[in-house]
Amino acid sequence: MPKITTPLSEAAVRRLKNKGRHSVGGVPGLKLQITKQSACSWILRATVDGKVRDIGLGNYPTVPLKVARVAATDMQLQIQRGIDPLTERQRRGDELAATRASRKTFNECAQAYIASVEKQWKNPKTAAQWESSLDTYVSPSIGKLAVSDITTAHIVALLEAIWTTKTETASRVRSRIESILAYATTCGYRKGDNPARWKHHLETILPSPASLKGNKHHAALSYADMGSFMRDLRSAGGIASKALEYSILTAARSGEARGATWVEIDLNAKQWTIPAARMKAKKEHVIPLSGQAVTLLTELQKTSQGVYVFPGQRGSMLSDMTMGKVVKRLHSKAIERGERGYVDAHMDGRVVTPHGFRSTFRDWAAEVSTHPRDVIEHALAHQLKDKAEAAYQRRTSIPKRIILMQEWADYCDVMRATDSGKVTNISGTHKTS
Give tens-digit pLDDT for 248-286: 999 999 999 999 999 999 999 999 999 999 998 888 999
Band of residue 390 on the pLDDT scale cut at 50, 70, 90: low
Which pLDDT score is estimated for 423? 47
How many Å apart are CA 371 and CA 388, to the nearest integer? 21
Task: Report cis status (omega within 30 of 0) of the bond before 207.
Answer: no
Cα dihedral 129→135→139→144 (10° resolution):
100
Element (H, E) at 286: strand 285-288
**DSSP H helices in 213-347:** 226-236, 239-250, 254-258, 291-301, 320-336
Which pLDDT score is estimated for 96? 59
Question: Which are the contacts of 172, defined by CB distance < 8 A and separation ≥ 6?
Answer: 133, 367
Domains of the chain: 10-99 (3.30.160.390), 106-211 (1.10.150.130), 223-425 (1.10.443.10)
How many Å apart are CA 8 and CA 4, to the nearest integer? 12
Give the β-pairing of 350-351 and 343-344. Answer: antiparallel
How many Å apart are CA 322 and CA 181, to the nearest integer? 48
How many Å apart are CA 99 and CA 415, to the nearest integer? 52
Segment 162-191 mean pLDDT: 89
The yes-or-no verdict on residue 398 having pLDDT over 60 is yes
Segment 330-355 mean pLDDT: 89
Element (H, E) at 373: helix 373-379
The percent of residues in the chain predicted with pLDDT above 90, rounded, is 45
pLDDT digits (tens, 9 = 90+) for 146-168: 998 999 999 999 998 888 878 88
Element (H, E) at 414: strand 414-415
Compute φ and ψ for 255, nearest 5 degrees.
-65, -35
Per mean pLDDT, which range of 45-54, 106-115, 275-284 is the poorest?
45-54
How many alpha carbons lie under 13 Å from residue 48 in its C-beta half-sphere? Answer: 19
Largest Cα–Cα distance of the chain, in whole Å? 109
Segment 118-145 mean pLDDT: 90
Cα dihedral 209→213→215→221 (10° resolution):
60
Helix axes of 106-117 and 167-186: crossing angle, nearest 10 degrees: 90
Element (H, E) at 54: strand 51-60
The yes-or-no verdict on residue 433 having pLDDT over 50 is no
How many Å apart are CA 222 and CA 344, to the nearest integer? 7
Q: Are 247 and 254 in contact (CB under 8 A)?
A: yes
Task: Give 50-59's long-range contacts (Cβ < 8 A, gap of 24+).
Answer: 53/86, 55/85, 55/86, 57/30
Q: Are 309 and 261 in contact (CB under 8 A)?
A: yes
The yes-or-no verdict on residue 215 having pLDDT over 50 is no
The yes-or-no verdict on residue 396 having pLDDT over 80 is no
Residues written for the chain:
433
Per mean pLDDT, which range of 87-96, 112-121, 401-410 is the poorest?
87-96
pLDDT digits (tens, 9 = 90+) for 23-46: 888 888 898 888 876 788 888 888
Pick the closest to residue 382 from 418, 406, 358 (CA basis).
Answer: 358
Pick the closest to residue 126 from 368, 408, 405, 362 (CA basis).
Answer: 368
Strand ranges, E, within 61-119: none
